[in-house]
A and B are shown apart, each in its own frame.
Chain A
Amino acid sequence: MANIIMFGILAVVILGSAVMCVATKRIMRAATFLLFVLFGVAGLYFILDYTFLGAAQLSIYAGGITMMYIFAIQLVNRRTLQGLVEHVKGSRAIGAALVTLAGFLTVTIVLLKNEFLFRACEVADEEVSMNVIGEALVGSEKYQYVLPFEFISVFLLACIIGGIVVARKEKEDK
């Protein structure tokens, strides 16, 4: 009962903010509404009692990614952002509608075929312990993820080095 009410509130927040994020004309407002969408999604994880993912969502998306967007908006020249108008073309609208429909159908078919909803109702709400998550992340047994974990860390290191290289190049040109 309480779960359904909370889900309803969060759904309204997520959908409302998502629509506002796309519909607003000011880019900073769009970033703020995106932040509210991400908060709402974090709230969904908390309803599911998956607190680790909720905390990660808050700290990475709300604290990190949104901040990066805001900094990027700051660094872009204000005039390039002002009075930016995009006309909706018929062919593009049809293409977008087709892609959306395909995505919606895929999600629906996967949901119905795997009976995710029914299974999700059967599983009791239990918080996954931090130890289990930690061991799964760095363990090498079945259903443990040390290889992807290492790949992602190498990838991130490459991104950091790349960022530094790009940033330094401009300085030398001066």
Chain B
Amino acid sequence: MFDFSNVTIWFDALLRQTLGLGDFWSILIECILVGVLILAGYAILAICLIFMERKVCAYFQCRLGPMRVGPWGIFQVFADVLKMLIKEIFTVDKADKLLYFVAPFLVIIASVGTFSFLPWNNGAEVLNFNVGVFLLTAVSSIGVVGIFLAGWASNNKYSVVSAMRGAVQLISYEMSLGLCLITAVILTGTMQVSGIVEAQVGPWNWLIFKGHVPAIIAFLVFLVAGNAEANRGPFDLAEAESELTAGYHTEYSGMGFGFYYLAEYLNLFVVSGIATTVFLGGWAPVNIGIEGFDGIMNLIPGIVWFLGKTFAVVWLLMWVRWTFPRLRIDQILKLEWKYLMPLCLINLVLMTIIVAFGWHF
């Protein structure tokens, strides 16, 4: 398997030895470079996801989707982005201007922060802490504050009510997400993202196979809760323009709205990426125990596996989104507190028993 740390070690040696820079400057340059790469990847993936969403949605509804701008409509998203960038940014009268401008940044910080935890390849994790998964949930919880402040700072009662609704939904579903991740952590015995992936390399070692029943339950609950956490699918109350006057970002225009839009799509990718990392093996290739087959599969680089699996999960979530009708807020909360969370707790106990007795594969 291709180890990306070769490249990073080579680059580090280039800065330190060939160019003779000190500790401070080489670390600074590396940090800036990694930051730029993360943001570039974020933007490129956002464009891919928006285009994919429009096309998938169109085909589910027996339409063609955007076809006019460029061949097969592939420049449509660039046109949208351009429109978003040149729109006028205006504020509401008597609104709290400072909070109005801070709120989208909190949301985007939470989104980029969780995005940087994803393991792209063998040796290509950006944030790889010992407390990995826990820190990831911690960073993602910052977004709730951003959503709430957006509603408050808009000086619009519909926005405030909608922000309350959104915040309650996010806080509730964080519970299930956390419990599902803990279930996986029990099986792997580590919270570090790279450790979780390394535990899944090898034939039939993906957690979803290794942990059989509880892992499959955790994976399914994770997908449902992740869909709610990304404000999508049947849980997209904030997007209900006709019924609920859109939501907490009604009063935003231009890039303020653009940030919420970006964060929504990237949260979809991040949720799928985490589901892939934790349950479907991250960059680990498909291995079935036959040497020739495994050898060929191992030749395919890890990033292809990671992106392939993640986009498969993204496609699954889009399928759900365009199939199920929207839920009401009381139904959303009922689903979480009365069904998903108790299921997760029981599942946690089940997984602990299975790991304690060694009944996993």
What residues make up the interface of A, taking CB atoms closer than 8 Å to B?
A: 1-2, 26, 28-29, 32, 35, 51-52, 54-56, 58-59, 62-64, 66-67, 70-71, 74, 127-130
Contact = CB atoms under 8 A, between A and B. Distances in A.
A35 B145 contact: yes
A130 B138 contact: no
Contacts of B28: 2
Q: Chain B interface: which size bin?
A: 20 to 34
B24 interface: yes
Given A62-B145, A63-B138, A63-B142, A55 B131 contact: yes
Given A51-B129, A67-B171, A130-B190, A62 B96 contact: no
Nearest to B144: A67
Contacts of B138: 55-56, 58-59, 62-63
Q: Which 3 A-B pairs have the closest CB atoms?
A: A63-B141, A59-B138, A58-B138
Q: Is the interface of B mostly helix, strand, loop or mixed?
A: helix
Contact of A67 (B23, B129, B131, B148): B148
A74 B139 contact: no
Contacts of A63: 138, 141-142, 144-145, 174
A119 B59 CA distance: 65
Nearest to A127: B130
B167 interface: yes
A130 B144 CA distance: 27
A32 B135 contact: no
Contacts of B142: 58, 62-63
B27 interface: yes
A26 B149 CA distance: 13
Contact of B134 (A29, A32, A59, A67): A59
B45 interface: no
A52 B24 CA distance: 25
Contacts of B144: 63, 67
Contacts of A58: 135, 138-139, 141-142
A51 B193 CA distance: 14
A59 B98 CA distance: 24
Which interface residue of A1, A51, A55, A74 has the most chain B CB atoms within 10 A? A55
A2 to B, nearest CB: 6
A102 B204 CA distance: 63
A26 B97 CA distance: 12
User: Most chain-A Cβ atoms within 10 A of its Cβ — which of B23, B138, B152, B191?
Assistant: B138
A79 B178 CA distance: 38
